Chains A and B, each alone.
Chain A
Amino acid sequence: MPIALEVAHLTVAFGKTRVIEDLSFEVEAGSSLAIIGPNGSGKTVLVKALIGSLPFEGAIRWPPGTRIGYVPQKLDIERDLPLTGLDLLRAKARVSGTSGSEVTRVLGLVELGAETAGRPIGTLSGGQFQRLLLGFALMGNPSVLLFDEPTAGVDEPGEEGIYSLFRRLQQEQGLTLLLISHELSLVYRFADKVLCLSRRRAWIGPPLAILTPERLQEAYGTPMKFHVHDDPAG
C-alpha cells in the first residue's frame, strides 16, 4: 500500500510547553485513521500542524500532488455575515479551478438543499453548516480528507449519516481519511487504525488493540466505557 502521510519525530510547542513530542506514524493511502484522546492531548494541534497552520519541528510528508479537504472543528461565524453557502462553494470552485457544476454535485453528495445553501452561513444550523463545510472539503477532487470532530453539534442520526457518507466516499473514491472523534463506538466501526494521544505518550494500531478499557484508562486517566453497536467482526 502506498503511503498517504508520513509523520516523523513531530514536535509542536507553544513557548516552552510541548503539546506534541516526538510523534511518528504513517497513514496508508485509502485507509482511515481516527485520532482520539482526552482534551488537551494535542489532537487539534496535530491537525493544524498537518495542514501547515502551526510551526513544528520534525517532518510531515504528504506525497506530491496531495489535495487536502479539511473540515474544521467549529467556526465562529457572525450571524449577519452577508455570505451564503453558495457564495462559499462558488469561491472554492473558482480557487480550485473546477466548474460551477461541481457546486451542484457536492450539494447532492452532502444532501444539502439549494434553498438551504442559499441562506447566509451564519443562519444555518450546526448540522447544516457542517454539511456545507463537508461539501466545501469535497470540492476540487481531494485525495485526503481531514476532519476535526466532523460531527460536533450534529444529532445522532445525522452523525450516523455523516460517517456513512465518509465510508461511502472512501470506498468509491479511494480517499484517505483522517479524523478526530470523541465517538469511540463510531471510531470502532469506521476506522482502520486508531491514533490515541495522551499528554504522556501516543499509541497507534487497529481499533481492537487500542480501544481496550486498560489502554483508554491509561490515556484518559479515568475509566472509559463505550458502547459497541455491532459485532466488531462484522
Chain B
Amino acid sequence: MTQPADLLLPLATAAAAGLIGSIAVMRRMTLASDALSHIALPGIGIAILLRLNPIVGGLVALLLGTVLVWALEHKTRIPTEAIVGVVFSAALAVGGMLTSGEDLIEALFGAPGRPSRPELLLGLAAAALVIAFAIVAESRLVITLVSPDLARTAGIDVSRLNLLFLLAFAATVALGLRFLGVLLMGSLVIIPASTAKHLARSLHAMRWISVAIAMLSTAVGALVARALHRDAGPIVITIASLIFFASLWTRRGDD
C-alpha cells in the first residue's frame, strides 16, 4: 500500500531533478545527462553480486563515473559528448555482463518496494543537499553556461563548479534509482526541464515550470500506479512525456 509518507522521497527527488535538469538542459547536456545516468548500472550489478544494497552500488558507480568524466574532460581536449558516449557504452556493457534477468529489469526500470528507514533518511538528506546546491550555485552556473570565460573573469572557479554540478547530477540520479530505475531517472531529469525550456522565457519561469512538472508527474504517476497495481516508474515518465508533447502545441509569445 502506498501511504502519503511514501511519496515524500519521490517528490523530493522530483524537485531535485527539476532543478538540476533545468541547468543541464540549458547547458545543452540533454544526451550527455541521459547517458551519464546509465553509469549506475555496473555498480548495481556488482552490488547484487556481492549481496550489498544495489542503490549504494549504483551511487558509488555514479560518483566514480562522474569524476572520471570530469577528469577526462579536464585533462584531455576530447569533447564531453564523446567521453560520455564511451563511458556510457562501457558502463552498459559491463552492467549487462554483471546483471541478468529480473535484476536487470529492476535496475533499468525501478524496483517495487519501500526504502528502509536509513535509506529514506539518507535520500531525503541527499535531496535537500542537491536542492540547496542548485539554488545557491544557480547564478554561478548560469554565467558559466553562457560563457566559461565570462565566469572566470567574474571570479568563478569553473572547473570546480563543473565537478560539483556533475556530482549533484549523479546524486540526483542515484536518488531515483529505486523508484524509477537507471533508464527512467535520466528521463525525469531531462523531460520536465525540456518542457520548461520550450515554455519559459526567463530563468525564473524555467526553474519553476521544470520543478512543477517533475513533481506533478511523480505524484500523479504514483497514484495512477497504485490504482492500476503497476510499477510507478514507467507511468511517471509517460505522464511527463505527455506533458512535453502537449506543451509543443502551446505557442510562445514571440514565435
Q: Which of B28, B142, B154 has the most CB of A within 10 A?
A: B154
Given that A51-B149, A53-B148 are contacting pairs, would A84 and B201 also be in contact in the complex, using a CB cutoff of 8 Å? yes
Which residues of A from 70 to 100 have beta carbons under 8 Å from B?
70, 72, 75, 77-78, 80-84, 86-88, 90-92, 94-96
Within B183-217, which residues are at the interface with A (CB < 8 Å)?
196-198, 200-206
* Contact, CB under 8 Å: B201 / A120: yes
> Are A72 and B147 interface neighbours, CB within 8 A?
yes
Residues on A with beta carbons closer than 8 Å to the beta carbon of B121: none
Q: Does A48 contact B (CB under 8 A)?
A: yes
Docked-complex contact A91 and B150, CB < 8 angstroms: no
A181 to B200 CA separation, bound complex (whole angstroms): 37
A140 CB–B CB distance under 8 Å: yes
Interface contact tally, CB-CB below 8 A: 79
Q: Which residues of B are interface residues toward A (Cβ below 8 A)? A: 26, 28, 138-140, 142-143, 146-150, 152-156, 196-198, 200-206, 254
A107 within 8 A of B: no
Q: How far is the CB of B210 from chain A (nearest CB, A)?
A: 10
Are A95 and B197 closer than 8 Å at their CB atoms? no
Taking chain A's interface residues, is the majority helix, strand, or loop, or is none over half, making it mixed? mixed
Bound together, the chains give a CA A70 to CA B152 distance in angstroms of 9
Report the minimum CB–CB distance from A86 to chain B (whole Å): 8
Contact (Cβ within 8 A) A91 B139: yes
* Residue A146 CB within 8 A of the other chain: yes
Which residues on A sit within 8 Å (CB–CB) of B147? Answer: 72, 75
> How many residues of chain A have a CB within 8 Å of chain B?
35
Given contacts A88-B143, A88-B146, contact A80 B197 (CB under 8 A): yes
Q: Which chain B residues lie closer than 8 Å to A188 at the CB level?
A: none
When A and B form their complex, which 4 residue pairs have the shortest distance between CB atoms, in order from nearest?
A: A91-B139, A70-B153, A82-B200, A82-B206
B155 touches A83 (CB 8 A): no
Which residues of chain B have C-beta atoms less than 8 A from A37's C-beta? none
Whether A87 lies near B142 (C-beta < 8 A) is: yes
- Closest B residue to A86 by CB, please name it: B202
Q: Which residues on the A side are within 8 Å of B197 (C-beta)?
A: 80-82
Of all chain A residues, which has the CB nearest B22? A82
